Copies of this chain bind each other. A is one copy, B any other.
Amino acid sequence: MKSILTPLGPKADKDTVRRHNLSLVLRAVRDEGESGEATRAGVAARVGLTRAAVSSLVEQLMDSGFLTESGKTFSGQAGRPGTALKVARTGPAGLGVEINIDYVSVCVVDLAGTGRVRQTEHLDNRGAPAGEVLARAAAIAARTLDSAREQELRPVGVALALPGLVSGGAVRQAPNLGWNEVPAQDLFGDALTALRPGRPVLPVASENEANLAALAELWFGGLGDVRSFLYLTGEIGVGGALVLNGELLRGAHGFAGEIGHVVVDPDGPECRCGSRGCLEQYAGQSALLRAAGVDGPGAGGGSGVLELERRARAGDVRAVAAVAEAGRMLGRVVSGAVNLVDPDAVVLGGIYRGLMPWLSPPADEELTGRVVSGLWSPGSGRLRASSVAGDAARGAAALVVQDVLDDPVAYAEPSGG
């Protein structure tokens, strides 16, 4: 699955230009639709093409099932009546599959970015071989695809969100899953294809889960003017991602954002990554629960993290102290990252969301003391919890949709299909 269209160079031919313009018009309808009604005239003004050109492009996008008319018309305009346009709620869509340590979550997102189907299963993926985990995920994905079909949605590709170092379609290292050099894309793709005999083979992409959760935050998190942020997600480990000027930083090898393995104490406990004293050893879920003395779900049921939240809320001294210490370590490491990249905001997701009341004050205190420039002050709002609207599975599905929006022609329904 290609992610970025070849830029339009001087030698762009007519076909390339038309495809580019189809993408412009489709995106314009989607964006206009968010704030009101999209009309051909409005789209023409927005993208700087003539009304006639836009009408022709809209016609092709309607024929291919990307756009529909809402039925509402506007009077008083010259030429063809100003019928409101919107992106189709059916047709091309994206499938996102998050495989994490203790759950698999699958999501279908439509062209407008709306999550339409969601299936989540809690599983212990640490105990099973990689091939088995990926086959289980494929089975959940296959069921989700059936549900999508009932809604007349047609996912055109799959993106996998994986908790580790991902490059070239493989998981190079995912210490918390115990994976090394696992060709996840191929294993998942083969399993999914085997489960859907006679159906089109779906292209599969893959990406680090924190990267995709950060993109979901960017696209759906209501961040307002924030275009650059550091994202940390507390899971079994600590995932991280950097979004700079609205773009995900992937890094030279695709491994950027690994803030969980920034050293806190050079002589600290061994980390699964091979180093010592990484942030993960102080602020990861296992470390946090251990320090708080939480062994499991507790009397109230639910996960260990919910039990930790319950105890902190009840004022349990050990629980509150454990979360505060994790907050201090987070703040210390994040202050270094803020000094290095000077982001607009730092967003905490995963298990940190629910722990913010106890985590955030000591983290803010470290940041206030250690960020240069005196620009960090407690309560500045630069340290914030992630939105519930975004997660890695939705980010993955939306990444597939981005590809459709970039070049709709490539994803038009095969004739007779």
Contacts and interface: CB of A to CB of B under 8 A. Distances in A.
Contacts of A375: 253, 255
Contacts of A341: 242, 249, 251, 256, 340-341
A381 B273 CA distance: 23
A332 B266 contact: yes
Contacts of A244: 244, 249
Interface string A327-352: 00000110111011111100000000
B263 A336 contact: yes
Contacts of A372: 165, 173, 255, 258, 261, 273, 275
Q: Which interface residue of A255, A262, A340 has the most chain B CB atoms within 10 A?
A: A340
A335 B228 contact: no
A259 interface: yes
Nearest to A341: B256
A369 B275 contact: yes
Nearest to A48: B10
A254 interface: yes
A47 B173 contact: no
A415 interface: no
A165 B262 contact: no
A51 interface: no
A16 to B, nearest CB: 13
Chain multiplicity (copies): 2
A172 interface: yes
Nearest to A339: B258
B369 A274 contact: yes
A318 interface: no
Interface string A234-254: 000000101010000111111
B274 A374 contact: yes
Interface string A297-339: 0000000000000000000000000000000000011011101
Contact of A340 (B49, B337, B344): B337
Interface in A9-50: 9-11, 47-49
B370 A275 contact: yes
A257 interface: yes
A340 B342 contact: no
A281 to B, nearest CB: 13
Contacts of A250: 342
Contacts of A343: 251-252
A339 B370 contact: no
Interface of A: 9-11, 47-49, 165, 172-173, 228, 240, 242, 244, 249-259, 261-263, 266, 273-275, 332-333, 335-337, 339-344, 369-370, 372-375
10 contacts: A10-B48, A242-B341, A250-B342, A252-B342, A255-B342, A257-B340, A263-B336, A263-B370, A273-B372, A333-B336
